[in-house]
Amino acid sequence: MYRSVQNPKDAARKVTVLELRERKSAGPMITMTTAYDFTMATLFDEAGIDVILVGDSLGMVVQGHTNTLPVSIDEICYHGRAVARALARAHLVGDLPFMSFQTSPRQAMRNAGKLLKHGSFESVKLEGGAHYAEHVYQIVRAGIPVMGHVGLTPQSIHALGGFKVQGKTLDAAEQIVNDAKALEQAGAYAILIEAMPPDMAALVTRAVSIPTIGIGAGRECDGQVLVSTDLLGLSRGHVPKFSKRYAELGDQAVDAARRYIDEVRARSFPDAAHEYRRVTA
């Protein structure tokens, strides 16, 4: 029987791809979020999150781009090394960014290996369906676990015409089901489903024997993922419909900074409690 994280011994047990696959039938639901630095990863690992993704979303939430396309493989590796140092329990997966795998299966395998060798990742995530099944197969054959990604694939943002919900018709959903089956057959251990109506995402989930992890895809998936800045209420501006904010840490950070400014200008910080005592002879 799986137990939630309650003590340091439980926390030290590493989540593996084999365990994640078993969650499809045995449960519990898989929890996943993003992290891009040591501090954030430390907190999520302590909380008991199952999977940490260093996603190419860092292009938007860390670097300030309007999409994920500018992110490089070296940048994913840099953030991966920082996050890996924090994790005692959570499984660490890294995105293969735009144009790091699309050219050929050989390119995909080489860059997947780079994520493990130079980014300290334990598996990789790759966007796209049946068209990239051979890429997934070659990566898996090299001993590298792969998480698939179907539905809305942000690296195809221009081809899709924007960040739009996918699989809204039975024909479109059937194509995504076929994509998911192709990824499973190629050896993927799990599939992320993004931005699909819940009933359509449920079709995908029932069609494969590996776990599905949803983001904006309803509760019938085998797990859920949220971008950490949305989860914590750190992001400003537009919030996607599917993103539940479990805190408003952005507001708290602004308030804390304002109080710091006020105290510095009033010369009330640092006070005696935050100063070193004078050394006497």
Quote the CA–CA distance of 30 and 24 in Å, as a whole number.
9
- Say if residues 256 and 243 touch (Cβ distance below 8 Å): no
Quote the CA–CA distance of 1 and 6 in Å, as a whole number.
14
The string of DSSP letters for 127-149 reads EBSGGGHHHHHHHHHTT--EEEE
Query: Which one, of 80, 90, 75, lies nearest residue 13 by Cα?
Result: 90
The number of angstroms, rounded, from the C-alpha of 158 to the middle of its chain's C-alpha atoms is 22
Q: Dihedral sign for Cα 230, 127, 186, 167, please.
A: positive
Question: Which residues in 38-59 are b (16+ Cβ under 10 Å) and which e?
Answer: bebbbebbeeebbbbbbbbbbb
Query: Which one, of 209, 97, 206, lies nearest residue 154 by Cα?
Result: 97
Q: What is the dihedral of CA 14, 210, 99, 37, to 10 degrees?
A: -30
Query: Which one, of 256, 253, 258, 218, lies nearest residue 232 by Cα?
Result: 253
Active-site choice (184, 194, 220, 248): 194
Residue 279, classed as helix, strand or coil, is: coil
Placement of tokens 């993704």 in the chain: 53
Q: Which residues contact 111 (CB under 8 A, 6 or more apart)?
A: 73, 96, 100, 101
194 is catalytic: yes
Active-site positions?
194
